[in-house]
Amino acid sequence: MYSEKFQKSLAAVEAARDKNIAYEPARMTAQQKEDLLAAYHPDYKQDEFDTLKIGPNKGDKVPKELAATLQAHSRITADSVDLCTPDYDVDVLIIGGGGAGASAAIEANEAGANVMIVTKLRIGDANTMMAEGGIQAADKPNDSPAIHFVDAFGGGHFAAKRELLSKLVCDAPEAIQWLSNLGVEFDKDENGTMITTHGGGTSRKRMHAAKDYSGAEIMRTLRDEVLNRGIPVVDFTSAIELILDENGNAAGAVLMNMETKELLVAKAKTVIIATGGAGRMHYQGFPTSNHYGATADGLVLGYRAGAKLLYAETLQYHPTGAAYPEQIFGALVTEKVRSIGAKLVNAKGEVFMHPLETRDVAAASIIRECTTRENGVDTGDGCGVWLDTPMIEKIGGEGTIEKRIPAMMRMFEKYGIDIRKEPILVYPTLHYQNGGLDIDADCMTTNVKNLYVAGEAVGGIHGRNRLMGNSLLDIIVFGRSAGQNAAKACKDITVGKLTLDHVASFEKEIADAGIVTDTVSPKLLPDYTRRK
């Protein structure tokens, strides 16, 4: 139920609905997209970026908030931790308990390695859990990994590392098969054919889903498998620094109990960073669709230990975050809503773009509608455009919403909005960290040995923008691969003397560069407490 102030615009949307359903808006040309992004996409706002003064990416521009956290003080001093008597000694240490970490753990365990997960919240408190729309894989007869490659490469502005992208698309069908064999329930018809849809920027319908709980269904199944295998999960424990050995190779991490603040030392032959994204950094003041712990920790840990970042300046703003009601401001409204028929409509009831442009283009287009074009709807706390969900029922028949996007229905129902009958208000929300640590196809960082990365903490798989459904895919493909490769590498690794010298030298770099800061990192959790 929308209040009086929305009624006039709502009436316009309703009146135009039948016409809008029939209307097929043109897709933008390459030039139109480029111009739109340059004018409206947050990644292009130069004054929101700072140049890094120290570290492996010295001279590169990254979001201000990330620069501050990358160039911040450690939570410890190099000589304050006793590394001689580790609390844990394992083959593979996995930092992060999301989809990438869990996949890595299962594969490392399968390969016979002694593996352990540390996670600062619980296993499964991760962006994976919240991925709603689906997972891509080119497994239909009219599709191929090569077509998938072109879609993703173009969608990412031709910037992806090709060896990573080809691995992503070629290993995709097997990833789906692996998940199916673990018991993940994908939407299929009675013959076993996957029910697949488009995502923004795809040229084939290759989005596999489990209703709109795709990530949750995958995550809870992976978690269950981790527990079945007896893999130790040290929860409510964050990694606050990597430990290197005397040869400069990754060899463990300093851990901190999130509740008692006790410090612990984990020694390992290989380390996998699977710490996920950075939505809770709230770049440029955006709300986020991300989980509570998405604070770019892995980037900080890796950076201090000497690992390079790639495309850290590119973020994904999901075009459809909830703009109303305020209690769910910034929460994800899955792209699947558009995949199954809803179009974006402005305050006047006009369809202003093709609903399935890539995410960066769609976000920029909505921002344009709400700013210079002044066609946005005033929500009281901001501005938004309509996502006309009742179109879905008109196109797919009554009951489609409940069957295909039950989580969306529930989310709005709690605030008295029946998305089967009323459209919803959306505005871009900070969703995904396109960039991250630079790795090779074996998932090892390009310049710190025995340090592997998987999932959202990786940069370069998608280039400068990511397509829907390629993130759930990448956490599985690269998670599994990192686990397999780390486990295999362990057999030939002898860990040298443990050291935190890199922490001391990073502190020195901060001082030498004249950086004055009170910030400590990794951030671990955002602080939303009210300051009086």
Comparison of 245 and 474: residue with beta carbon closer to another protein? 474
Q: Is residue 30 close enough to count as binding another protein by CB under 8 A?
A: yes
Among candidate residues 206, 208, 280, 318, the one labeled active-site is: 318
Smallest distance, Å, CB 108 to another protein?
Answer: 17
Point out which span in 67-75, 125-133, 264-272, 468-476 binds another protein (CB under 8 A). Answer: 125-133
Q: Which of 176, 169, 137, 136 is nearest to 150 (CA)?
A: 169
Cis peptide before 63 (omega within 30 of 0): no
Say if residue 175 is exposed, middle or buried (CB neighbours under 10 Å; 0-12, 13-18, 19+): buried
Reply yes or no on whether 208 is catalytic: no
What part of residues 282-311 is at the interface with another protein (CB under 8 A)? Answer: 289, 291-292
Q: Is residue 232 close enough to count as binding another protein by CB under 8 A?
A: no
Comparison of 86 and 145: residue with beta carbon closer to another protein? 145
Comparison of 46 and 193: residue with beta carbon closer to another protein? 193
What part of residues 138-157 is at the interface with another protein (CB under 8 A)? Answer: 138-142, 144-147, 149-151, 153-154
Smallest distance, Å, CB 508 to another protein?
Answer: 32
| DSSP H stretches of helix in 336-432 | 336-339, 359-370, 390-396, 400-404, 406-413
Comparison of 61 and 140: residue with beta carbon closer to another protein? 140
What part of residues 426-485 is at the interface with another protein (CB under 8 A)? Answer: none
How far is the C-alpha of 311 from the C-alpha of 459, rounded, in Å? 6
Q: Which of 173, 248, 382, 396 binds another protein (CB under 8 A)?
A: 173
> Which residues, listed in sequence order, are joined to residue 136 by a DSSP beta bridge?
207
Q: Which of 278, 316, 272, 270 is nearest to 297 (CA)?
A: 278
What part of residues 375-434 is at the interface with another protein (CB under 8 A)? Answer: 406-407, 410-411, 414
Helices (H) and strands (E) in the chain, counts: 17, 20
For 291, what's the count of Cα atoms within 13 Å in the CB-facing half-sphere? 23
Comparison of 60 and 143: residue with beta carbon closer to another protein? 143
Q: Which of 358, 393, 448 is nearest to 154 (CA)?
A: 358
Residue located via tokens 């909830």: 322
What part of residues 310-369 is at the interface with another protein (CB under 8 A)? Answer: 326-328, 331-332
How far is the C-alpha of 99 from the C-alpha of 103, rounded, in Å? 6
C-beta neighbour count of 192 within 10 angstroms: 7
Comparison of 200 and 459: residue with beta carbon closer to another protein? 200
Instruction: Give me the helix-helix angle, 99-110 and 214-228, nearest 10°.
Output: 30
Q: Which of 3, 46, 85, 181 binds another protein (CB under 8 A)?
A: 181
- Using DSSP's 3-state secondary structure scheme, residue 154 falls into helix
Smallest distance, Å, CB 110 to another protein?
Answer: 11
How far is the C-alpha of 500 from the C-alpha of 475, rounded, in Å? 29
Smallest distance, Å, CB 328 to another protein?
Answer: 8
Smallest distance, Å, CB 228 to another protein?
Answer: 5
Comparison of 10 and 182: residue with beta carbon closer to another protein? 182
Q: Which of 302, 315, 288 is nearest to 239 (CA)?
A: 302
Cis peptide before 325 (omega within 30 of 0): yes
What part of residues 191-230 is at the interface with another protein (CB under 8 A)? Answer: 191-194, 198, 203-205, 211, 213, 215-217, 220-221, 224-225, 227-228, 230
Reply yes or no on whether 368 is catalytic: no
How far is the C-alpha of 14 from the C-alpha of 22, rounded, in Å? 14
Q: Is residue 105 close enough to count as binding another protein by CB under 8 A?
A: no
Count of all residues that appear for the chain in the document: 532
Comparison of 252 and 276: residue with beta carbon closer to another protein? 276
Smallest distance, Å, CB 237 to another protein?
Answer: 11
Point out which span in 56-64, 158-166, 494-502, 508-516 binds another protein (CB under 8 A). Answer: 158-166
Q: Find out whether 272 and 452 touch, Cβ atoms under 8 Å.
A: yes
Smallest distance, Å, CB 365 to another protein?
Answer: 18
Point out which span in 71-79, 182-190, 386-394, 493-501 binds another protein (CB under 8 A). Answer: 182-190
Contact mark string toward another protein, 54..93, x via CB under 8 A? ----------------------------------------
Structure tokens at 141: 């007869």
Q: Which of 248, 256, 262 is nearest to 520 (CA)?
A: 256
Among candidate residues 338, 431, 464, 466, the one labeled active-site is: 338
What residues contact residue 497 under an 8 Å CB cut-off, 6+ apart?
A: 245, 246
Q: Which of 26, 46, 59, 190 binds another protein (CB under 8 A)?
A: 190
How far is the C-alpha of 296 from the C-alpha of 169, rounded, in Å? 26
- Write out the catalytic residue numbers: 318, 338
